[in-house]
Structure 1
Amino acid sequence: MKIKFTLLLILISSVSHAQMTHQDSLNSVVNEYFRLNVKVFQSGSSQSDIDSLFSLFSEDFTYLHPNYGGTYSRKDLYDGYINNQKNGRYNGRVADIKVTNRISGLNAVSVEKRFVTRKDDTLSEGEPQMTLFEFRDGKIYRIHEFW
């Protein structure tokens, strides 16, 4: 009887641990996404910084932002990042991205975030914004902005 009970506890523990590990890995990718975005947004960032960011995305990745033109393919978004960098739009004004709330589910993470901007050596937090990340095979395959 003790052996069956012990085996049951081990099984329950391993199932809980596996689920926790999955959510932790998704959250880790989201954290890396924000870290790399902040790096790209700085003056002096390089194309390799953009390439590092895009390595988090699946080949069939899409970016949905209804308030900024709708749906973008991976290539469209990549070209936009390169264009913004070449035109000096990544100038360090975005100092950080602060995640204030997070809900993790099966192959999805929803975050509430705020852009932290720099102006004349003063930092200020923007309005809260919602972003949904969807995953497939450990890669981000869709980002949907709700702001």
Structure 2
Amino acid sequence: MKLKNILFIIFWCFGTHLITAQQVETIVQSDTILNVLDEYYKLNLKVFQADSTPEDVDNIFELFTDDFTYVHHHYGGVYTREDLYNGYMRNQKNGGYDGSVVDIQVENKIVGLNAIAVSKRFIKKDEGKIVEGEAQMALFEFKDGKISRIYEYW
């Protein structure tokens, strides 16, 4: 909200009509959803570590709407928020998060209206070497500043 006010004042003071209130709102919204996306990947990287906690998983789910869905047809289709949460917790309990993922490299983002398409790859530790995984595509949809749906295309 602060950015919106600053932009409005700047353009009002200079008397230009090159930017509309809707354009300012779009800039602010894009900034907001980009921050949520960055936080999502940061929190996931933390969960992927061997010392992650259930609270770390909970922090990811704070970024999701109540009606959130996760769609990954290659790995079983459509998952509700509860399905995905249970999967995270099961993986954590079973030692699936072992620190082998050392980074999530986001290579490209295309921001649309309440959506971001992402090209990313996992950076992993494999037999003592750092290895870049294959490029993967995901689409994030947002509602009220939270992630409402993730489509994975890999």
* Structure 2 residue corresponding to 1:70, chosen from 57, 69, 77: 77
Matches within 5 A, 1:1-147: 9=16, 12=19, 14-147=21-154
Superposed displacement of residue 117, structure 1: 0.5
Q: Give the aligned CA root-mean-square deviation in angstroms.
A: 1.8
1:78 deviation in Å?
0.2
Unmatched segments (≥5 aa) in structure 2 = 1-11
- Secondary structure, in 3 states, of the residue corresponding to 2:50? coil
1:85 deviation in Å?
Answer: 0.3
CA offsets per residue over residues 86-131 of structure 1, 9 Å max, x none? 0000000111110001100100000000010012432111111000
- What secondary structure, in the 3-state scheme, does the structure 2 residue paired with 1:9 have? coil
Give the whole-Å Cα distance in 2 for the aligned partners of 1:83 and 1:107.
31
CA apart distance, 1:7: 7.7
Gaps of 5+ in 1: none
> Structure 1 residues 139, 107: CA separation in 2 closer, same or farther (over 3 Å shift)?
same
